[in-house]
Amino acid sequence: MINAADVIASLRARDIENTGHGPLYRRLQVALKAIIDDGVLKVQDALPSERDLATELNISRVTVRNAVRALVEDGVLVQRHGAGTFVAPRVEQALSRLTSFTEDMTTRGLQPGAIWLEKSVGHASPEEAMALNLSPGTEVSRLRRLRTANDKPMALEFAVLPRAFLPSPEDVDKSLYDALARHGKKPDRALQRLRAELFDAETAKILGVPEGSAALYIERRSFLANGTPVEFTRSYYRGDSYDFIAEMQVDAR
């Protein structure tokens, strides 16, 4: 259980009135985000009330409200009617199960969504041909989507598939894996490579996060049961929203 006094003390220590630039509510927003990143406020912790924050920090309630609203819009905080404001839960994804974004969000009670940024067909680039084990120039379908959960941006995904398995990006409505299943081409196995990156200006803008914030870059190559590559997807996930969980066992020997 978080002690409201610790939160107030951490915010006071950041001296938002004399530190940083821009409107005061923005500086409070940055300070609140920082104390969440530092672990003073953890997932599911409640924020002190708007009135307490305003009184203790000697700022107006409007300033507090605007900062909180901006963090709710960023998906950092959630407001529960009648209960208060809390640090938003992170999405946990097991690295051992092959699931789609739609399945991941639905099982967590979140509404999956996608904003289309590109639907096209073309010829495989050398990198795509290599990843999908195609001859250079083979026709591919390309889908670039901003993935959302309850309208909050979560990840930017760029999927490339042989046209032999996905003849047209128009075949995909909400879920790529559902479309592949309809063609009898649902992936059976996947290899995933993850690395830490920082968001560049353009990707940060699309995901609604500050430039230079933490990103998880993920490449997934998925395969049919017979081993044929079916998908090559490059994604940027918000580092502030995702935990990837891997279960490990000691060698049985």
Return residues touching ligand 16G (CB under 6 A): 100-102, 157, 159, 175-178, 218, 220, 231, 233, 235
Residue 25 or 165 with smaller CB distance to ligand 16G: 165
CA dist., res. 160 & res. 133, Å (int): 12
Residue 191 or 198 with smaller CB distance to ligand 16G: 191
Residue 14 or 144 with smaller CB distance to ligand 16G: 144
Query: Residue 151 is encoded by which pair of tokens?
Result: 């309208």
Q: CB 84 → ligand 16G: shortest distance, Å?
A: 32
Polymer length of the chain: 253
CA dist., res. 32 & res. 41, Å (int): 9
CA dist., res. 188 & res. 97, Å (int): 10
Class of residue 19 by CB neighbours under 10 A (exposed 0-12, middle 13-18, buried 19+): exposed
Q: CB 104 → ligand 16G: shortest distance, Å?
A: 7
Q: CB 192 → ligand 16G: shortest distance, Å?
A: 6
Q: CB 98 → ligand 16G: shortest distance, Å?
A: 9
Residues contacting 66, CB < 8 A, separation 6+: 25, 29
Residue 85 or 233 with smaller CB distance to ligand 16G: 233
Dihedral sign computed on CA atoms, order 207, 105, 180, 136:
positive
Q: CB 176 → ligand 16G: shortest distance, Å?
A: 3
Query: Residue 38 is encoded by which pair of tokens?
Result: 């530092």
CA dist., res. 132 & res. 221, Å (int): 8
Residue 10 or 99 with smaller CB distance to ligand 16G: 99
